[in-house]
Chains A and B, each alone.
Chain A
C-alpha cells in the first residue's frame, strides 16, 4: 500500500432510487498520483457514483471522506471548495459565454472572499491567468474568445474539462471526458491525464477501453451498481469474472491487442 493517505475514500456507499439500487456498497480509494478508472456496462451506476462523490446527489447510506474530512451529504458547492472538481458526461457549460469566460468563472470560484461587488471581474489578473492556463491545458488556447455555443461538440467537451481544471482541484472526477471527441483530441486529453496524474488524484469513468488501459493505475469494474473487481489493469484483464460479466471475449481480445 502507498503510504500517502488517500484523498478520496468511500465506505459502503449506496444510492437507491425507490426500489432501484443504482449504487450498492461501493468502497474505493483514490490517491494523489493515482488514476483510478471505473468501468462497467451502461447502467452499472458509474455516473450515479460520480454524482454521489461530487455532492450532486445525496447518498442513501455509506460514507465519503475527502482528504480525511467526512463530506457525506454535503452540498455540491461545499465539496467543490474542498478541492474536488468534476466534469459531466453530458456537456454542462455556459453556452452564451465565451470559452474564456466559462473558465474565468470557474477560476473565480476560488476567490476568498468570493462575493465581490465592485471591482471589475475582468481586471482580476490571477483569475484570468488561471483561466488561460486551464484553456491551454485542455488544448483550447486559440478558441478562448469564441462563444461556447459556437464551439464544435469536441471543443465543448474540452471546455468541460478546462472548466474543471480552472477550479484548481486536487481530486478530479471525470465522467466520460472522451465521449464525443475526435481521435486527435482524445489523444491530447489522454496525454493531459498522464501529466495531471503526477499531482492530482483522478477518478475516471470512461468507455474507451484503449484509453482506460493506457492511463489507469487502478481499475474498478462495476456491474449492476456493485463493485465486481478492483485491481491493477493486468489483473483486471486476466480476471475471469470480469471477462464474463463485462469485457466479453471480443472486447477482451481488443483490449489485449
Chain B
C-alpha cells in the first residue's frame, strides 16, 4: 500500500504535538513551584491509569467499571512490602506490585470475560467492590483509615552495584522524572502492542467478535491478555500513586475512582492513547479550577462532563482528530493515532 500523503501529514502533525508535549513536561520542573511539580506528577500517574483503561474500553471494547481494583491493590502491596518506618526496595516492591495486579486481573478476567455488554460492566464493578470491602471492613491494613507509607521506595541497587542509588524518590523532582519516564514507557509499550498482530486482533474483536471467532481466533484468550496487560499497567500507576501520596486507603480501589478513570477516557477520547492521557490531565485541571471557585465544585464537574458527552461525542482528542481528518479528506478511518 502506498502511504496516503494526507494520512502521513496527520501522523507527522500528531508526532510534532506529542514531542512538544514531551518537551514541555521535560522542562516544566525547571520553572515552577514544588506544588505544581507534584500536581503534574499526580496527573501523569493518572494518565498512565487512564491509558491502561483505554486499552480495554477504547481498543478492546470492554467497558470495565472496576479498574481501580488493580490500582489500589498495587498500592497496598507497596504498603505491605515496606517495613514500618523504613523504605521498601523499589526493585523488589515494584515488580511485586505489578505481579500481584497482573495475577488479580488474570483471576478476575477469567470470570468477568464470560459476560459482555452491560453485564460485564456490573460484574467488573462487583469484583472491585468486593475487594474494596475486604480492605474496608477488615483489619488487614488499617480498615477504613488505611495505612501510612512513611518512606518512599528506595531505588538503591544491591551490593553488586556498590549500593548505587540512581535517583531518590524522596526528592520531588526525581519522582517527577521517574513518573514521566513511566508515562513515556507506557505510551511506547501500548503503541507497540496496539500495532502488533495482537493489537489488530483486539481491534477486530471490538468491531466484530463473532467474525473474529469464525476467522479462527480464540477471542477469549485475547481479551484475557488485554485485561491482564491493562490491570498490570493500572497496578504500576497505583504503586506510584501510593508512593507519592504516602498512604493507602480503601478509596484507592473504590468505584468512585473507577468511574473517574472512565470519565477521563471519555473526556479525552476513547481509542486514542493521547486522548486518555489528555483526559486525565483535563479532568484534574478542571477539578482544581472548580475547587477554587466553589465548594460545590462537583456540580460544575458533572456539568462539564455532560457538556463534553453532548458536544464532543468523540472526546477532546477524538474531535480534533476527526476535524483534522475531514480537512485532510483522507479515507483512512481505520485508526486514529494519538
CB distance from A100 to the nearest CB of B (A): 6
Whether A76 pairs with B213 at a CB distance below 8 angstroms is yes
Give the size category of B's interface with A: 20 to 34
Whether A144 pairs with B1 at a CB distance below 8 angstroms is yes
Decide if A96 is an interface residue (CB 8 Å cutoff).
yes
Bound form: Cα–Cα A106–B208 in Å: 13
* A93-B208, A96-B207 known, 6 other contacts, Cβ within 8 Å: A104-B200, A109-B217, A115-B197, A120-B195, A121-B199, A147-B334
Decide if A114 is an interface residue (CB 8 Å cutoff).
yes
Decide if B29 is an interface residue (CB 8 Å cutoff).
no
User: B3's closest neighbor in chain A, by CB?
Assistant: A145
Contacts of A96 in B (CB 8 A): 207, 333-334
Whether A92 pairs with B196 at a CB distance below 8 angstroms is no
Contact indicator per residue, chain A 156-168, by CB within 8 Å of chain B (1) or not (0): 0000000100010
Interface-located stretch among B73-81, B133-141, B219-227, B300-308: B219-227
Whether A110 pairs with B216 at a CB distance below 8 angstroms is yes
User: What's the dominant secondary structure at chain B's contact region?
Assistant: helix
Bound form: Cα–Cα A251–B313 in Å: 53
A81-B216, A145-B331 as given contacts; A117 in contact with B196, CB under 8 Å: yes
Decide if A213 is an interface residue (CB 8 Å cutoff).
no
Bound form: Cα–Cα A116–B194 in Å: 11
Contact indicator per residue, chain B 203-217, by CB within 8 Å of chain A (1) or not (0): 110011011111111
Whether B215 pairs with A109 at a CB distance below 8 angstroms is yes
Contacts of B334 in A (CB 8 A): 96-98, 101, 147
Bound form: Cα–Cα A114–B218 in Å: 10
Decide if B125 is an interface residue (CB 8 Å cutoff).
no
CB distance from A74 to the nearest CB of B (A): 12
Partner of A108, one of B201, B214, B225: B201
Contacts of B201 in A (CB 8 A): 105, 108, 114
Can you identify 14 A-B contacts, CB atoms within 8 angstroms?
A54-B214, A80-B216, A94-B204, A96-B207, A105-B200, A105-B201, A105-B212, A110-B216, A116-B198, A118-B192, A121-B195, A145-B332, A167-B215, A167-B216
Contacts of A214 in B (CB 8 A): none
Whether A115 pairs with B222 at a CB distance below 8 angstroms is yes
A96-B333, A108-B197, A147-B332 as given contacts; A77 in contact with B211, CB under 8 Å: no
Bound form: Cα–Cα A116–B225 in Å: 11
User: B1's closest neighbor in chain A, by CB?
Assistant: A145
Decide if A56 is an interface residue (CB 8 Å cutoff).
yes
Decide if B4 is an interface residue (CB 8 Å cutoff).
yes
Whether A77 pairs with B207 at a CB distance below 8 angstroms is no
A76-B214, A77-B219, A92-B208 as given contacts; A145 in contact with B4, CB under 8 Å: yes
Partner of A150, one of B198, B211, B222, B331: B331
Bound form: Cα–Cα A115–B197 in Å: 7
Whether B208 pairs with A115 at a CB distance below 8 angstroms is no
CB distance from B7 to the nearest CB of A (A): 10
Contacts of B200 in A (CB 8 A): 101, 104-105, 108, 121
Contacts of B284 in A (CB 8 A): none
Partner of B196, one of A94, A100, A116: A116
Partner of B217, one of A77, A97, A98: A77
Whether B214 pairs with A77 at a CB distance below 8 angstroms is yes
Decide if B155 is an interface residue (CB 8 Å cutoff).
no
CB distance from B332 to the nearest CB of A (A): 7
CB distance from A171 to the nearest CB of B (A): 13
Interface residues of B in 260-312 (CB under 8 A from A): none
Whether B213 pairs with A75 at a CB distance below 8 angstroms is yes
Decide if B193 is an interface residue (CB 8 Å cutoff).
yes
CB distance from B179 to the nearest CB of A (A): 24
Of the listed residues A95, A119, A121, A144, the one surrounded by the most CB atoms of chain B closer than 10 A to its CB is A121
Bound form: Cα–Cα A8–B79 in Å: 60
User: A107's closest neighbor in chain B, by CB?
Assistant: B215
Contacts of B192 in A (CB 8 A): 117-118, 120
Contacts of B195 in A (CB 8 A): 120-122
Bound form: Cα–Cα A118–B190 in Å: 10
Interface residues of B in 130-153 (CB under 8 A from A): none
Contacts of A24 in B (CB 8 A): none
User: A146's closest neighbor in chain B, by CB?
Assistant: B331
Smallest CB-CB A-B distances: 5 pairs: A80-B216, A109-B216, A116-B197, A121-B197, A76-B213
Contacts of A115 in B (CB 8 A): 197-198, 221-222, 225
Contacts of B213 in A (CB 8 A): 75-77, 80
Bound form: Cα–Cα A121–B212 in Å: 16
Decide if A111 is an interface residue (CB 8 Å cutoff).
yes
Bound form: Cα–Cα A124–B200 in Å: 13
Interface residues of B in 236-259 (CB under 8 A from A): none
Decide if A86 is an interface residue (CB 8 Å cutoff).
yes
CB distance from B221 to the nearest CB of A (A): 7
Whether A77 pairs with B216 at a CB distance below 8 angstroms is yes
Of the listed residues A76, A146, A150, A167, the one surrounded by the most CB atoms of chain B closer than 10 A to its CB is A76
Partner of A147, one of B2, B198, B221, B333: B333
Contacts of A120 in B (CB 8 A): 192, 195-196
Contacts of B204 in A (CB 8 A): 94, 97, 105
Of the listed residues A101, A104, A150, the one surrounded by the most CB atoms of chain B closer than 10 A to its CB is A101
Contacts of A80 in B (CB 8 A): 213-216
